[in-house]
Amino acid sequence: MHPVLFHIGRVLIPSYGAVAAVGVLLALALVMRTARIAGVDAGKVWNLSVLSLFAALAAARLLLVIANFGALRRHPAWVLGLAMVHHPLLAGVGALAGGGCAAMYAHHSKLPLRATADALAPPLALGLAFEQAGALLAGASYGTDAGPGVPWAVTYSDPMAAIWSGTPLGIPLHPVQAYAALAFFSIAALLLTWLPLERRKGDVAGFWLIGAAVAIFLTELWRAPEGRGWLFKGTVDGPEIAAVAMVIAGGMILREPKSTPAPRQQAGQNRGPAGETRGNA
């Protein structure tokens, strides 16, 4: 594949960053439309999206700086290469930081949480689809050995894929990033179709969490285990644990609210023999 999209002089433009940036721009454009459909202030949702994006990027890069502080002190120029590092832990930290920033901004701006989450769900799915397409080009989060019986397998030969992402070269691999991208594109299309038809606020967000969790959990079956954070003696990895948490969160959002009890009879009233309500004399 092509981890380097093109060169500008001696400057490399990585495919992952370029394709992910296109996805971010399309997601930001889409959120203006979905906000209007969901009935929330499009300008505030735009601000929320931009702030959350910067919070996610800053948190992920800060974690990288902290984890590699000793090496960066000896070689400060290496900080420019941090953008090439991709790891599930970084994605998790970025998601937590972005989600926390979004919740705080929504509360501060008095945005309705459920309707705002509905507006954000389709753009998030679209952005993740492009992110996985960029990962496919770069070789990031690569798949397991596909063997000779998978005609759609991908084989990486560019040394930059091995340097940046540790991708094995010359071995047919499952294009798991393409599997995930197709899943997220499908989820985005379904949510966009459903958003104008939803019965309750929060349903789109709830099904986004469950649909994304299913996509993450299933595609992990074809991802190489390196750096995935295996838990419980290799039974599940970190992203699969996150997927289970997302299903639980989505189920809680979709849970039917308890019915409101009927108001009690007003004091000073009683019922006659025929069930009629009469006031006291």
Give the residue extent of every domain in the chain.
Answer: 4-257
Of the candidates 144, 143, 169, which has an alpha carbon nearest to the alpha carbon of residue 155? 169
Q: How far is the C-alpha of 85 from the C-alpha of 242, rounded, in Å?
A: 20
pLDDT over 90 at 9, yes or no: no
Classify residue 108 as exposed, middle or buried by CB count within 10 Å of its CB (0-12, 13-18, 19+). Answer: exposed
From 51-60, 91-100, 255-264, the region with the lowest mean pLDDT: 255-264
Whether the per-residue pLDDT at 63 is higher than 70: the answer is yes
DSSP-derived pairing of the beta strands 277-279 and 269-271: antiparallel
| pLDDT over 60 at 275, yes or no | no
Question: Range with the lowest mean pLDDT among 114-118, 186-190, 204-208, 225-229?
Answer: 225-229
The answer to whether 140 touches 224, Cβ cutoff 8 Å, is: no
Residue carrying the six token digits 């990585």: 14
- C-alpha to C-alpha distances, 115 to 91, 232, 245, 260, 273, nearest whole angstrom: 25, 37, 21, 21, 49
Whether pLDDT at 34 is above 60: yes
Higher pLDDT, 242 or 129: 129
Chain centroid, CA 173 distance in Å: 24
Give the pLDDT confidence score for residue 242 in this predicted structure. 85
- Vertex 122: Cα angle to 205 and 43 (nearest 5): 95
Q: Is the pLDDT of residue 89 over 90?
A: no
State in Å, rounded, how far the first CA of the chain is from the last one. 89
